[in-house]
Amino acid sequence: MTGLRWGILATGGIAASFASDLRAAGHDLQAVGSRSQESADAFAARFDIPRAHASYESLVADPDIDIVYVASPHPMHHDNARLALEHGKHVLVEKAFTVTQAQAGDLQRIAAEKGLVVMEAMWTRYLPHMVRLREIIADGTLGEIRSVMADHTQSLPTDPAHRLNALELGGGALLDLGIYPISFIWDVLGEPATILASARLIETGADAEVATVMTHAGGAVSTSVSSSRAAGPNAAYVVGTEGRVEIERFFWAPSVLRVFSTDGTLIEEFDGRMPDGGPRGLHLEAAAAEKAVLHGDPAGPLLALPIAESVAIMGTLDEIRRQIGVVYPGVDDAPLRGEAR
């Protein structure tokens, strides 16, 4: 096998961005599945996809696809990914990986039992400037890392019925926006030893703003701010005893990274932006998923974000939600499929 045959589950905006990048990067996009034939047909025509399925069940049963990209809303990630795994497909799941750590662990277990790759589509981990950041940290340029700061703040729709504000759809700043700085902090500093979270909730009970202060190994500290109601710098900073890194707006997308010494002298500028007219960067996570499959690496040690870390990060998000008092109805109070009520 020289490449994987992709199927896309759901036809929303992120699915379209992913399909566009797959096509631009030359990946084999074979099928799309939607909850209606009309939507599947329109998406297939737009991206020149050979087969359009009128249900997710039909998509995952397609013998001519090897891997499924799950692009449905957050609360559907677990069931949709599990459906694909149960049909023997490898799975790339749009971030946030699931809604709870229990759901994430369930997918990890099923994938391990079947020898399949399941991976979170956290594209930031695979972008050139993030690869370079890990190299800079590893070679000691920054000395001992003492703090990490990141924000993901945007001005998004305020309609209470919009999925971003509806708790039953996993709404709130945390899962849509906060996952980026939290995953970034995990990437640099690893698992937090302590977590302190605060938030402002809106009338629907969803979080409009979330802030965290966490401590990590060796006493390093991290801070994050996420907001769906106000646009900020969307930058990230890594500060060490010998220097610092600044990643400009938007740190979670292809961006420019600058390294400074402790006296403020610019040491390096790395431009990780994608060339105009090509893929925007989502193809890199697809390539990583293919590499994990083709190298027989189901647990993902070759990946910048192995499944075990995605599961652990969901645990961090669970604790943040516990502290700020956000509960997703029909998810937090529902057993996983196959569990006793």
Judged against a pLDDT cut of 90, whether residue 303 lies above it is answered with no
CA-CA distance, 160 to 171, in Å (whole number)?
10
3-class SS letters over 191-245: CCCEEEEEEEECCCCCEEEEEEEEECHHHCEEEEEEECECCCCCCEEEEECCEEE
What does the pLDDT read at residue 333? 61
What does the pLDDT read at residue 337? 56
What is the distance, to the nearest Å, from the Cα of residue 161 to the centroid of all Cα atoms in its chain? 24
Asked if residue 290 lies in contact with residue 279, where contact means CB atoms within 8 angstroms, the answer is no
Element (H, E) at 109: helix 101-114
Nearest to 60 by CA among 37, 36, 32: 32
Give, in order, the Cα–Cα distances in Å from 63 to each of 39, 77, 89, 110, 289: 21, 22, 10, 20, 19
Buried/exposed code over 287-310 (b: 16+ C-beta within 10 A; e: otherwise) = ebbbebbeeeebbbeebbbbbebb
CA-CA distance, 218 to 189, in Å (whole number)?
10
Three-state secondary-structure class, residue 92 = strand
Asked if residue 74 lies in contact with residue 101, where contact means CB atoms within 8 angstroms, the answer is no
What does the pLDDT read at residue 340? 37
Question: Which amino acid makes up residue 84?
Answer: A
- The domain spans of the chain are 5-124+281-305, 128-271
Tens-digit pLDDT profile for residues 251-302: 999 999 999 999 999 999 999 999 998 899 999 999 999 999 998 876 666 6
CA-CA distance, 176 to 74, in Å (whole number)?
9
What does the pLDDT read at residue 313? 98
Tens-digit pLDDT profile for residues 86-140: 999 999 999 999 999 999 999 999 999 999 999 999 999 999 999 999 999 999 9
- List, in sequence order, every residue forming a beta bridge with 246; answer none if it has no partner: 237, 258
Angle, helices 179-189 vs 307-324, to 10°: value is: 120
Length of the chain: 341
Burial class (CB in 10 A: 0-12, 13-18, 19+), 70: buried
Other Cβ atoms closer than 10 A to 333: 8
Residue 196 exposure: Cα atoms within 13 Å on the Cβ side: 7
- Highest CATH level, class, for 128-271: alpha beta
Indicate the CATH number for domain 5-124+281-305: 3.40.50.720
Asked if residue 251 lies in contact with residue 150, where contact means CB atoms within 8 angstroms, the answer is yes
CA-CA distance, 118 to 298, in Å (whole number)?
7
**Assigned token pair, 148:** 């990490």
Evaluate the omega torsion of the peptide bond into residue 251 and state whether it is cis, within 30 degrees of 0: no
The catalytically annotated residue of 89, 95, 114, 291 is: 95
Judged against a pLDDT cut of 80, whether residue 2 lies above it is answered with no
Asked if residue 94 lies in contact with residue 14, where contact means CB atoms within 8 angstroms, the answer is yes
Please say if 89 is a catalytic residue: no
What is the distance, to the nearest Å, from the Cα of residue 105 to the centroid of all Cα atoms in its chain? 16
What does the pLDDT read at residue 329? 86
**Assigned token pair, 195:** 């977590």
Instruction: Please provide the average confidence, as pLDDT, over all residues in the chain.
Output: 94
Ranking 5-19, 140-154, 157-171, 181-195 by mean pLDDT, the lowest is 157-171
Element (H, E) at 258: strand 256-261
Percent over 90 (pLDDT), the chain: 90
What does the pLDDT read at residue 277? 87
Give, in order, the Cα–Cα distances in Å from 181 to each of 27, 80, 166, 220, 333: 29, 26, 22, 16, 27
